[in-house]
Chains A and B, each alone.
Chain A
Amino acid sequence: MNKKVIFVLKGIGLVLILFVALFPLFWMFITSGKTMTELLKIPVTLWPEDFTFQSYYEVWVQKPFPQYIANSLKIAVVATVLGMIVSSMAAYGFAKFRFPFKRGILMFVLVAQMFPSTSIIIPLFSTYRSYGLYDTHVGLMLLYTTISLAFSVWMMYGYFRGVPKELEEAARIDGCGALKSFIHVILPISKPGIAAVGVYAFMCAWNEYLYSLILLTSEQNYTISIGLSRFITEFGTYWNQMGAASIIVTIPTLVIFILLGKNLIEGLTAGAVKG
């Protein structure tokens, strides 16, 4: 085979792969630009006859969607910041100190992320009710910090173990305590790892569905996931609004992923290369 044929075949393969990954989202975008009358047509039109942003207006102004976004953003930001602090502290503890049961605790952290959320939610529901955390954002912030924690701790643990011991010893000689050398020496050089943890934690919190479905009841507290799922059950036929809402909800994820996605991919795959 000559080079040209291979080049063309690769091009076709690439287009196919990207089509499968991205087209569904693009189809939502096309749908969001249609009018209600056009949506009722069979067969479905492949391109809006008259692209309109009417459904975005409806979602944004007539429905409490900005409220949902504000709620989700608030919860996700707090959970992300908390998650970054807590997970990097824990990972540092695991990477740099010797203590009893370390291996066992590490294994526990690893297994904790495999617990089915549908099981945990049942006792949590009654616990949250009795401690006044039910239908509050604080309750969700704590929970969302926790669900990404196990993964984040392992990711940072890998990072910190790669930091040369000499760096820290130098800091110790200069009179830094454990906490000081952690903040001034280790954290600054681990920025890519912390970014990866941040992206992961944000996505977990922003995308989460089950916990907010169970633990929130009042409409003014709803997160985007609940807001979106209500579109399907109550306004099942308004696919243009559903499309607009989906696109709006995906934008923050997209922006963060474009800016920091490289870090996340590196963090996720750091463990894959060895072994």
Chain B
Amino acid sequence: MARFIVRRMASAILLLFAVSIVVFAIFEVIPSYNPARAIAGRNATATTVAEVSHKFGFDKPVYVQYAKTMELIFTGQVIDYNDNLNVDSQFAQRFPVTVSLVVPAALIWLAGAVVLGSISALRVGGLADRGLMVAAILGVSIPVFLLAAVLLYAFAFKLPWFPNTGYVTLPDNPAQWAYHLFLPWISIAILSIGFYSRVLRSNLLDMVNEDFVRTARAKGLTRRQVFNRHVLRNSLMPIVTMFGLDFAVLLGGAALVTETVFNLPGIGQYEAQAIGNLDVPPILVGAMFTAFFVVLFSAISDIVYALLDPRVRLAG
């Protein structure tokens, strides 16, 4: 098992390296595109452009450019020339907000998906099952901007149950923190619960026909024991892989619509603004940031999968 972990982490590092080259290529090596000018922003003077050019090494060979760019990103020296802010420190400041949004939402959707998926599978064909599956499809189909806006309108404006956007940090006031984040959590969770519960339900139904489940019943285990220890356990594994990627992308800022609608000062909001303003430095750092999490979490989910399924440990 330890060997597996080491191998997986080593390939994660290599992968990150490869991804960084791709990100670099996208932003800085496209023909007829002046990276220095793009990075220097819309209000750039000639001096700024020259400064950027020198800093990023655009007058030097490609590999030097790459090295310098990576160095700038990792040592926190990328500056957003439009508002003269240090991009890396912006990310650092905004990251806790995104974490506050994403982590509890993820826990809600995981727990919800397991419960809903299990109920559906246990009462397959019944009213609960069909009802839940319809609700799941709705959850998957509703565009997040619509859902977020509707929730905000309905529960913060029309029915003043929840605050009208804004963010309160956790150390200041935990109750307010949760209160402000509740609707955003629901927005994110509803989308994923639908999808995950359907996948789980499908896996559970397949699993019930497996031979080893028959053996478990033949041993005299109760229905609940058979379900928890054999059926559910074996059905969760594909969910782990999916979850790793979804979670990683969200940490990188994929919840940008939710953050924007609810005015939460997180990574996603920052990236959304940068995209709107065609502001290259934050986008560049954002790409690397997300890439880092995706690589990390796919390695972690592989490791968790290996923990759950011992047959996988023999392979790579």
Decide if A and B are genuine partners.
no
Write the residues of chain A forming the contact surface with B, with a CB cutoff of 8 angstroms.
none
Write the residues of chain B forming the contact surface with A, with a CB cutoff of 8 angstroms.
none
